[in-house]
Chains A and B, each alone.
Chain A
């Protein structure tokens, strides 16, 4: 069942087409990676799917609601209720502790619950760092707080923009493992990345270039990789 559907979506800035007639379907529970060189339209697509921007042309259906036609206020509500965001730069509030940063997402969504926020941190392996400020955490730890914050409200889609871009290999593996757990729980994941290793663990990879969707790759070994939680396999089939 399709959770997200982009129909002939374009985003035009003056004479520049950041996205050019892109169509894409993402099913509930799917794990999709978006790849492409700089300026290919990945961030534009991420902003449109993440309800932070609107398309110039085409339809974007999220849960059967055309988010390209709704007001900014409604867009904020949809973003709050349905989407969890993970950023390359982490974007934690620097004067709030790890647990308070997680509670911030609860605060805007519904009701802050410190116990639940602590459980989310425990899940990403940071229970003992809950009272630390972001400046007292490593990059990997900050990214895990960001993931805990993204998943605290049980969003329908988790959108991650270069989630491992600032991490070392060990932390990258931790983050990928967390994504795998989220996928196994049925969360829909859309991960924008430059890193082929991160893309290869996804179920499907789409490649953008100059705003166009130029390639779609299905990971044939996804189920096997996923069940054994093995390293990304080589065997991918281009569509």
Chain B
């Protein structure tokens, strides 16, 4: 039999036949590894999870015309979007604003991609429904109250071109184009949108009788602050008519919350590792004390200090390995549970976390074993075997 076979035979015998003591140490390591693995999973998944949550708070990037450009052409929007990873784009809503008349009062009409607006601003609360087809309007809450209209009512919207308005007088006020719309729903945002009416791009083109470039584009992008900034720099530099900007109110608070949350998770992870180390060290100290006679006997049989260290470290590291392996799976379940309860979404299993947790558990256990194992080498076989 090879020496290492006997080494493993002794270690496994010690772990399996002295279960009660070793189970305590194993549990300590396993709980530590579980929390470590779980928290590291959450640590790396938090940006994604929080990013998704933050996308509920509206656009985090806008395109506005750059310099002297009067607007942004749809082709420029398309070329700007090529700089952004498609998987990261949550929603794109181009806006064209026009002043229109409703019951002879000026109202701002926004023509947009309504699906894009819905995706970009998921916090908008709509009573009724979003327009499903052309000829339908989504009106702000204040407009609805002002005109006393709601879902299913019709609304006449008149567009008077600027040239007509300048020359208009009492005799020409009937000029312009009037289109009848059906109100599909009212919009409650708590913001200035409640004074607008929203329609599709094709409807505003039909109403105004002309195709025009967009006044601005709102984008919701799932990415960290640094990534967003790199998109902004590239687009602003490479697409001449587009000036991309971050909505700092959203991106900065996202960054702040994320960094604080990650710092908290990191702190908890370090504390858990320390607690695990203390628990394992305490258990191993108790193990060494309990086994002073055995250590004395081994030394009496000719074991060198190196052999004693190797055997106790071997036991500790095997415990660390088993605890770490079990903990890496339990940690995933723990992270999944946290993610489902806090973020309401699942986490993908990271296979790399198994070796990372294993190495961390074995390392922490080895560190925790250092002092107790060192004290094991100080056992005097003559004194111990005499029962002192």
Contacts and interface: CB of A to CB of B under 8 A. Distances in A.
Interface in A85-104: 85, 87, 89, 91, 93-96, 100, 103-104
A103 B385 CA distance: 20
Interface in B301-327: 301-304, 307
A172 interface: no
Contacts, number: 73
A144 interface: no
| Chain B, interface SS category | helix
Contacts of A133: 17
Contacts of B386: 43
A79 B302 contact: yes
B386 to A, nearest CB: 6
A18 to B, nearest CB: 12
Contacts of B7: 107
B303 A108 contact: yes
Given A43-B386, A53-B382, A95 B300 contact: no
Nearest to A161: B385
Contacts of B300: 50, 52, 79, 85, 91
A159 to B, nearest CB: 10
B301 A87 contact: no
B146 to A, nearest CB: 86
Contact of A95 (B2, B14, B303, B307): B14
A197 B99 CA distance: 122
The residue among B18, B299, B380 with the most chain A CB atoms within 10 A of its own CB is: B299
A73 interface: yes
A52 B1 contact: no
Contact of A76 (B3, B9, B14, B302): B302
B298 A104 contact: yes
A77 interface: yes
A91 B387 CA distance: 11
B301 A96 contact: no
A138 to B, nearest CB: 20
B385 A100 contact: no
A39 to B, nearest CB: 13
B301 A108 contact: yes
Q: How large is the interface on B (under 10, 10 to 19, 20 to 34, 35 or more residues)?
A: 20 to 34
A66 interface: no
A52 B382 CA distance: 6
Contacts of B299: 76
A114 B301 CA distance: 17
A52 B17 contact: no
A149 B298 CA distance: 12
A107 B303 CA distance: 9
B9 to A, nearest CB: 7
Given A47-B382, A93-B298, A149-B301, 14 more contacts: A50-B382, A76-B302, A79-B302, A81-B302, A85-B301, A89-B385, A89-B387, A91-B297, A91-B385, A103-B1, A107-B7, A107-B10, A108-B303, A109-B302
Interface of B: 1-3, 5-7, 9-10, 13-14, 17-18, 293-294, 296-304, 307, 380-382, 385-387
27 contacts: A52-B380, A76-B302, A76-B303, A76-B304, A79-B300, A80-B301, A80-B302, A81-B302, A85-B300, A85-B301, A89-B387, A91-B300, A91-B385, A93-B298, A95-B13, A95-B17, A100-B10, A104-B10, A104-B298, A104-B301, A107-B6, A108-B302, A108-B307, A111-B1, A112-B5, A112-B6, A149-B301
